[in-house]
Structure 1
Amino acid sequence: MSTITFVDPHLSIQTVTVTSLSSTQNPTVTSASQSFPDTTGTLISTLETGGNPPVQPFPTSVPTISSATLQPLNSTVPFGNETATGPRSTVTETITLPLTTFETVVVTHTVTTVPVQTTALLTSVTVVNTTITSNGTAITTSSAGTTVVTSTGSTLVETTFSASSTITGTVATTITTGGSLTNLPTATSDCLLSMGCYGQDIFQPIALGQPPSNIEQRSGHPVPRLGVSNSTGPLETNKFYQNFVLGSQGDPSFVMPYSLTWSQGSGNAQSWGMAISHVDGSQKVFGPANTAIPGSPNSYYINPLGIQSLILSASEFGSSTLLTSDSLLPFSANIHLQPSAGSSSVLTLPVVQGMGFVTGQYANLQPALQSSVFFRNVAAAGEPKPGVFKYKVTLEDGKVWLIYAIPTNGVAPNFQLISSTLLEGISNWYGDIQIAKLPDASFESIYDEAAGAYPTAGHISGYAHDAKAQYSLSWSKAGAYSSNATLLMFSLPHHVDSFDSTTRGNVTEMQLQTTTKGNATAVVADYWVLEEDEMPTTLDFSPWRPGNTTQSLVALSSVAISAIQSVAAIEASQNMSAQTNLNSMYYSGKALSKFATLVYTMHDLADQQDLAKSALLELESCFEVFSSNQQQYPLIYDTDWKGVVSSASYVTGDSGEDFGNSYYNDHHFHYGYFLHAAAIIGYLDPTWLVENQDYINTLARDVSNPSSLDQYFPVFRSFDWYHGHSWAKGLFESGDGKDEESSSEDAMFAYGLKMWGKTIGDASMEARGNLMLSVLARSLQSYFLMTSDNVNQPAEFIDNKVTGIMFENKVDHVTYFGTDLSYIEGIHMIPIMPFSTLTRTPQFVEEEWTAYFADGAVRQASDISGGWKGIVYANLAIINPTAAYNFFTQSDFDASWIDGGASRTWYIALSAMLGGVS
């Protein structure tokens, strides 16, 4: 069976299943199904065979769908007030099949559709008409009015049902679509926001074309695509599995709650398989206490590496074993181990974030399950399902693990305990082996019920309406029981906090400790629905507080305006070119954002329009250096990994140049400032957008392309929708995994994306920025910005207040550039912008100020020098705007207290509008 999969930016995965194909001279499709969301979009097809990744070129004997375009007559979907009778819209689907007997065969289905809501009952679907044409001439028309009555009552994210239309002649089809609804809500307030209650699609592509022509396209990236096979499209660079394709390939992948490491002959077992580790909270190692900080928190904690609890291996593996990978996607990758290059025998591990089991797919190998912790006891535990052979293992550390072996041909693996490190099966075995840690015997049945199914890839989709959004994390799955077993996936604490009621009902009591994110909780579901009900839709360029519009803030008094005007006149006279045209995308972006904020403040807040217009012209000239790609180190488009990177490392040979931008480090930190600056410039001068929009969109696509339709950039390079924040580390091998230092600059990118989307009228981008900000606020407050009641980080660590550098395997209260406490805390403040009041709660700021910066505290603010002093006092405006205002307006203010990416003008306006002066 072959499957043609439509990859789209919308809610559901579009699939057509072809069950019968004859030769190309007389192709016949006997059955096909097509599901699609009720929205507009262009779908691009790829061909898959037997569930494997696409293989190029397509087999010439298989007619493939080349494209399909969905165009609803009513693309604006209201919330509530729909009628219970009649279709909401009519959708025409056109599919082109390239055949040898006809130049073109077009199959057109016209069907009635209605959105499915959680409060509604789906009762039927009606096929209005089906027409087949050859070269524009109708050759068959049939099936008008075909109706199928379905079962009623559904709470799925999106529910579709099938109606068949059989056509005499060349093609027979099954149409999958929505249908008529009963029990529809009658008012907007009753309309539960669900994937079927459509609003703004959050994940529409930004653009699909090539990067601007003035950005050179270049191959030969310094980092090779090690072991990556069957990939011509964009490759992820900042994901959890990156160690498998970098350097030695021997550093861990932190899948949460497990970690996986190619053992490469190491450990007591001297295995060449894939080692599985899970570390309990009691095994964490803590650094020395910092007695200068109230509460004397430990300076760091780390999870031990190299514990090979169980190892998925094979007797054929040895020093010639080869690790390759494919399908490097946002939530998953396929990792393959072969005895040697070219061998047809292979162990494949679909590695997916949050997977409940570690699964190995064996093809013609003798399974060898090993342990460097040593087997204490191995017991056969029956068959929880037909054809599923279960074993219960106790290791010498007292930990209990479960093993499920599911043979493809029904042949039992017949495991024999050969030694304290080796459990060996039979030769030439085909099937799946699944491994999971059992934290308590009472949870064993949860694993039993889920065995036989596992995720192969993750997907994200979502819609927004006003300040509400609902998004879904869902998974493709495989396994002998994939059709009748629900997936077992582990969620992080911030997921559980935002689950909708249905998903919350699938949460179990089983938990496993993660390395740096508290306890992971097992959820029995093929998809999760998560909600954000208070997105920062009113957040704009002006000072802002959550829950309030800008009008509810303090109006600028004449005193404040006078103070702003006098400082703004001086700052606007600075040499913008000297501060912006630097050898660093990071520092250049900060300066562009700084001057854009200054111009905005003058123009919109301080009644200095004439001065602002003059400054805006100079700022536009400075920005043109970058949009024309004439800066000191121009950008290049890397055709190997597919992304826009600085040419700095190519020129100097230094991988750390500009913080490693050429190696995909920190792109969200760097390009977020450009997005913000461009959003303000375009807001003040819409004509500027004509020449610059493509360039800024390219930066947005590089960091945060939301759609696999875009074949020039990977999907969400930096932002990790599982963890709820970005990872800064790019193509560098790391024993402790990816890391993130400046959580506030992560939020700055989301803010820049939101505001750029608003400026250019990209509603999907604006909604996506709002959702990212909401998710970031939730995750940062859960893991990075620790109030005294934080339950996710160790009690011995939370008095540090901020994490410092968050790795996947450790957290270290430090920075990459120094140990001064104002740096460590301040890197999670910078830049102080309107979104800062969203991510940094008053409780957190109060606790942090008291611990570090209050008079007499360990790093009292009055003693801080340089730009960090201004950052700390601007942060104070969140809880004490009067004190901040007085600081920035003092007569003997030292200009050195302002960071190169900030303006005193903005800080005065921010403090005043947050309540610093009336």
Structure 2
Amino acid sequence: MAQTTATPSQTSGDLFSVIATDAPSSLYSRMSSKTTVPSNVSKTSPIQTNNFWGNITLGDQSSYIYTHPYVVWKSNINNFTGLAISHQTDAQKVWGPINDHNAPNYFYSAAGIMSMVLGSSDFDNGFSMSLTNLKKMSIDVTLKSNNSNAGSMTSSILQGMGMVTAVYNNLIPQIHSQVGFQSVSGDTAPKAGIDKYKIVLNDGSVWFMYITFTNNQSCQFALKDSSHIIASNSINNCWIQICCGDFSDYDKAAGCYPIACTLSGSTSNNIGTYSFNYTTAGSGTTPLIYAFPHHVQSFTSKTSSKKSNASINDTVHGQLIGYLTNVFEMSENLPTSANMDPWSSISSFKNASYTQDELNSIRNVAVKDITNDVANLSNVNSMYYSGKILDKFAYVLYVLYYVLKDEDLTKQFLVKMKDAMNRFTGNRQIFPLCYETSWGGICSTGGMSNGDTGVDFGNSAYNDHHFHYGYHIHAAAIIAKIDQLVGDGSWLNNNKTWVNNLVRDVANPSESDNYFPIFRSYDFFIGHSFAHGITVYADGKDEESSSEDYNFNYAMKIWAQVIGDKQMENRANLILAITSRSMNNYMLYMSNNSSIPSRFVPNLVSGIKFENKIEHTTYFGTNAEYVHGIHMLPITPISSFIRKPDFVKEEWESYLINKINGVNSGWKSILMLNVALYDPNTAYNFFNTNNFNYGYLDDGLTLTWALAYSAGVRN
């Protein structure tokens, strides 16, 4: 039986304590990205690179921010200047052609349709924009008139905000719509000091506008023409709120709006609780916040009791439900039993164990795998591919010690692994890493000097850091652990800072760390990471490989166990639990999925998930094994926690079983080891054959691990 040290049960308070505050290693040269931070950005700390509001810090700063349910952006179009707002219903979505799943190959919303624009007649001579209070979960956008009186409006942008709010200071408000106004009528004021208007657009959509006055001010709004509503006079320190949908509970939130959100969390044994805590402004204390399906599924009674009568279509996350609350509190079951050993969520699984025949088969291939020159094989010009190579052999090292219990072979191979890894911890690889000073992060120097985002999948532009560094972190964890057991035990102390720097780059949990943004990749509101960095995408941030996303968090969990950082381990467990729920709503689709549009569900997996579009494809091809396999690799002990046996069975039996005979590349091993997540006997028998075709192995998988995993979870 394979045995590693399990994590004891424990209770933890706030999970977001700092990892370290020291400057990144002097091994990293200091370089600046060719993509500079705009001068109108108030930079008080490292800037988010993969965040939901990222588009507004890039290019001409007029691309879209997806707040869910609204899309907002800066509009410079004549007669429609200001903060543009869009919302499209499911009926307005654009659908792609039908594929071999008998489902549309993609869908998206037409994000650039200006339903409403919060503007001012004072912007007719132009305006400037400034960005302040850049936080992980919010940003303040200020538009300032070029007129001599220099009035301005400021909007706090947060995910899930039920109303788009702008605070007007010495401006004459003007509301625009490219869709056009069908009617505008005064409605019953919900509270003293707040006026309400009902607006019907030419597409039939119903919107409401609330104006909160201060200091006994007032003004009236009237149609100027079919595309513009003009106010009678200037207002100061008053705010206008725009919302879509005919729901009476908007009245309860009118006047109050969120300006920031902080994250808190704790764990107790195998239960994790986390909260979004909203700071509000305006009148009253209760805003309306829209929740995603995965939020609703995990709400505690503290939040579930605050449900409103508002509901609205989102771009790609189904039906959102409004809650009248300033706290979203959610609870999840943590994967505390999934650690370093092969693990499965199959109900009959207890612990990884092996027969003598299985051990013999594993030994026969392991003695071949350890003859590889790992240092030479991993000496490539890519943090991604080098990480995959290092990590696949780290799993062999694990098997030698924990499964085969062969200390002599473990010691021999440990030398090879340390030699290979030391090239990277010494920053002597083909493209060394640097500390990028403009945005704040550890990047590959490949492509940095000329801004070439094609090098190593755009690592220098903050693309895919969690994909790349997760492999290195897990490999380092295995090496450090085995070195403690059979080596001289010094490797961990010598290299802990190097590994922690990679963790901090991707998943720094604290504003006390002045060198990295908080959680560069992971979006706690959406429940998974974004892979896309500092280039503009009109459809928002995106992610292709769900499995390499959670592989980073699994790597962080194992590394935390090795270094004894319980807060990091609990944090990783919580992120994995949130990710499992989110991905099984929006990226992995069983036939009973009710979160995304039903006609897309037969695709079984998302392919590339953007904030505004899901396309059943990959960036490198449309083959079925690519589109499905990129959501599988690498198969690790945490895979079964995300990819549930029922899902894997449905995906295999309804689709992939009919494709597998036509796959004769390394993807074949990925698809077949994935079968072990519901039918480990079939998977084991595929790999446990005489004269196995090594051409079927993915470049990040060894036959040793394929046999050890599938055998370990089948007994």
Structure 2 length-normalised TM: 0.96
What is the rounded CA distance, in whole Å, between the counterparts of 2:527 and 2:445 in structure 1?
30
In the alignment, which residue of structure 1 is the partner of 2:707?
908
Question: Which of 632, 636, 648 is equivalent to 2:434?
Answer: 636
Question: Which of 35, 39, 45 is equivalent to 1:223?
Answer: 35
Q: How far is the alpha carbon of 1:811 from its aligned partner?
A: 0.4
**2:581 counterpart SS class:** helix
Contact 2:180 2:201 in 1 (8 A): yes
Question: Which of 571, 579, 582 is equivalent to 2:377?
Answer: 579
More helix by share: 2
Deviations 1:162-210, CA, capped at 9 Å, x for gaps: xxxxxxxxxxxxxxxxxxxxxxxxxxxxxxxxxxxx7343211111111
What is the rounded CA distance, in whole Å, between the counterparts of 1:368 and 1:523 in structure 2?
29
Question: Which of 340, 343, 346 is equivalent to 1:541?
Answer: 340
Q: How far is the alpha carbon of 1:230 from its aligned partner?
A: 2.6
Q: How does 1:254-293 map to 2 (within 5 A)?
A: 254-265=66-77, 270-290=79-99, 292-293=100-101
For 1:362, give the aligned amino acid: Y
For 1:866, give the aligned amino acid: S
What is the rounded CA distance, in whole Å, between the counterparts of 1:650 and 1:702 in structure 2?
17
Q: How does 1:149-188 map to 2 (within 5 A)?
A: none
Question: Which of 764, 788, 791 is equivalent to 2:567?
Answer: 764
**1:649 counterpart SS class:** coil
Q: How far is the alpha carbon of 1:371 from its aligned partner?
A: 0.8
Question: Which of 271, 279, 302 is equivalent to 1:502?
Answer: 302
Contact 1:451 1:485 in 2 (8 A): no
Q: How far is the alpha carbon of 1:320 from its aligned partner?
A: 3.4
Question: Which of 671, 682, 700 is equivalent to 2:503?
Answer: 700
In the alignment, which residue of structure 1 is the partner of 2:316?
516
Is 1:619–2:417 an aligned residue pair?
yes
Q: How far is the alpha carbon of 1:341 from its aligned partner?
A: 9.8
What is the rounded CA distance, in whole Å, between the counterparts of 1:613 and 1:548 in structure 2?
36
Question: Which of 850, 855, 861 is equivalent to 2:653?
Answer: 850
Contact 2:35 2:451 in 1 (8 A): no
In the alignment, which residue of structure 1 is the partner of 2:48?
236
What is the rounded CA distance, in whole Å, between the counterparts of 1:816 and 1:230 in structure 2?
34
For 2:15, give the aligned amino acid: I
Is 1:841–2:647 an aligned residue pair?
no
Deviations 1:658-707, CA, capped at 9 Å, x for gaps: 11111111111111111111111111123211111111111101100111
Question: Which of 381, 403, 418 is equivalent to 2:224?
Answer: 418
Question: Which of 327, 338, 351 is equivalent to 2:133?
Answer: 327
What is the rounded CA distance, in whole Å, between the counterparts of 2:125 and 2:500 in structure 1?
47
Is 1:797–2:600 an aligned residue pair?
yes
- Please list every run of 5 or more consecutive structure 1 residues that lacks an aligned counterpart in the other structure: 1-77, 80-197
For 1:323, give the aligned amino acid: M
Distance 1:563 1:341, change over 3 A: farther
What is the rounded CA distance, in whole Å, between the counterparts of 2:126 and 2:47 in structure 1?
26
Distance 1:582 1:432, change over 3 A: farther
Q: How far is the alpha carbon of 1:903 from its aligned partner?
A: 1.0
Q: How far is the alpha carbon of 1:438 from its aligned partner?
A: 4.3
What is the rounded CA distance, in whole Å, between the counterparts of 1:801 and 1:239 in structure 2?
27
Contact 1:671 1:749 in 2 (8 A): yes
In the alignment, which residue of structure 2 is the partner of 1:126?
none
What is the rounded CA distance, in whole Å, between the counterparts of 1:376 and 1:783 in structure 2?
35
What is the rounded CA distance, in whole Å, between the counterparts of 1:565 and 1:420 in structure 2?
77
What is the rounded CA distance, in whole Å, between the counterparts of 2:156 and 2:467 in structure 1?
31
For 1:614, give the aligned amino acid: Q
Q: How far is the alpha carbon of 1:461 from its aligned partner?
A: 0.6
**1:389 counterpart SS class:** strand
Contact 1:325 1:334 in 2 (8 A): yes
Indicate the larger mover: 743-752 or 309-318: 309-318
Indicate the larger mover: 378-387 or 842-851: 378-387
Deviations 1:322-353, CA, capped at 9 Å, x for gaps: 22212221111111112239974211110011
Contact 2:346 2:645 in 1 (8 A): no
Q: How does 1:136-151 map to 2 (within 5 A)?
A: none
Contact 2:198 2:208 in 1 (8 A): yes
What is the rounded CA distance, in whole Å, between the counterparts of 1:298 and 1:547 in structure 2?
32
Contact 1:260 1:276 in 2 (8 A): yes
**1:328 counterpart SS class:** strand
Bigger radius of gyration among the two: 1
What is the rounded CA distance, in whole Å, between the counterparts of 1:765 and 1:547 in structure 2?
27
Contact 1:539 1:549 in 2 (8 A): no
Q: How far is the alpha carbon of 1:382 from its aligned partner?
A: 3.9
What is the rounded CA distance, in whole Å, between the counterparts of 2:695 and 2:519 in structure 1?
37
For 1:553, give the aligned amino acid: N
In the alignment, which residue of structure 2 is the partner of 1:866?
665
For 2:293, give the aligned amino acid: P
For 1:286, give the aligned amino acid: W
**2:589 counterpart SS class:** coil
Q: How far is the alpha carbon of 1:803 from its aligned partner?
A: 0.5
Q: How does 1:558-573 map to 2 (within 5 A)?
A: 558-573=356-371
Indicate the larger mover: 782-791 or 406-415: 406-415
Deviations 1:762-820, CA, capped at 9 Å, x for gaps: 00000011011111110010110000000011111111100000000010000000110
What is the rounded CA distance, in whole Å, between the counterparts of 1:319 and 1:636 in structure 2?
44
Is 1:208–2:208 an aligned residue pair?
no
What is the rounded CA distance, in whole Å, between the counterparts of 1:319 and 1:876 in structure 2?
63
The total of aligned residue pairs comes to 702
Contact 2:345 2:644 in 1 (8 A): no
In the alignment, which residue of structure 1 is the partner of 2:205?
399
Deviations 1:12-54, CA, capped at 9 Å, x for gaps: xxxxxxxxxxxxxxxxxxxxxxxxxxxxxxxxxxxxxxxxxxx
Q: How far is the alpha carbon of 1:393 from its aligned partner?
A: 0.9
Contact 1:357 1:434 in 2 (8 A): no
For 2:204, give the aligned amino acid: G
Deviations 1:369-397, CA, capped at 9 Å, x for gaps: 11111111111224321211111111111
What is the rounded CA distance, in whole Å, between the counterparts of 1:829 and 1:793 in structure 2?
21
Distance 1:554 1:767, change over 3 A: closer
Structure 1 length-normalised TM: 0.75
Q: How does 1:64-83 map to 2 (within 5 A)?
A: none
Is 1:731–2:543 an aligned residue pair?
no
Higher relative contact order (CA 8 A, sep 6+): 2
What is the rounded CA distance, in whole Å, between the counterparts of 1:401 and 1:605 in structure 2?
63
Contact 1:490 1:523 in 2 (8 A): yes
What is the rounded CA distance, in whole Å, between the counterparts of 2:439 and 2:676 in structure 1?
43
Question: Which of 525, 533, 545 is equivalent to 1:722?
Answer: 525
For 1:457, give the aligned amino acid: A
Is 1:645–2:443 an aligned residue pair?
yes
Is 1:817–2:630 an aligned residue pair?
no
In the alignment, which residue of structure 2 is the partner of 1:878?
677
In the alignment, which residue of structure 1 is the partner of 2:117?
311
Q: How far is the alpha carbon of 1:228 from its aligned partner?
A: 3.8
In the alignment, which residue of structure 2 is the partner of 1:895?
694
Is 1:337–2:143 an aligned residue pair?
yes
Q: How far is the alpha carbon of 1:467 from its aligned partner?
A: 0.6
What is the rounded CA distance, in whole Å, between the counterparts of 1:733 and 1:851 in structure 2?
37
What is the rounded CA distance, in whole Å, between the counterparts of 2:219 and 2:34 in structure 1?
44
In the alignment, which residue of structure 1 is the partner of 2:487?
none
For 2:335, give the aligned amino acid: P
In the alignment, which residue of structure 1 is the partner of 2:161?
355
In the alignment, which residue of structure 1 is the partner of 2:108?
302
Deviations 1:850-874, CA, capped at 9 Å, x for gaps: 23222xx2x2x12211110000000
What is the rounded CA distance, in whole Å, between the counterparts of 2:446 and 2:40 in structure 1?
26
Indicate the larger mover: 759-768 or 424-433: 424-433
What is the rounded CA distance, in whole Å, between the counterparts of 2:595 and 2:23 in structure 1?
43
What is the rounded CA distance, in whole Å, between the counterparts of 1:458 and 1:903 in structure 2?
44
What is the rounded CA distance, in whole Å, between the counterparts of 1:507 and 1:696 in structure 2?
43
In the alignment, which residue of structure 2 is the partner of 1:468?
271
For 1:339, give the aligned amino acid: S
What is the rounded CA distance, in whole Å, between the counterparts of 1:904 and 1:725 in structure 2?
30
Contact 2:375 2:421 in 1 (8 A): no
Distance 1:544 1:811, change over 3 A: same
Distance 1:432 1:580, change over 3 A: farther
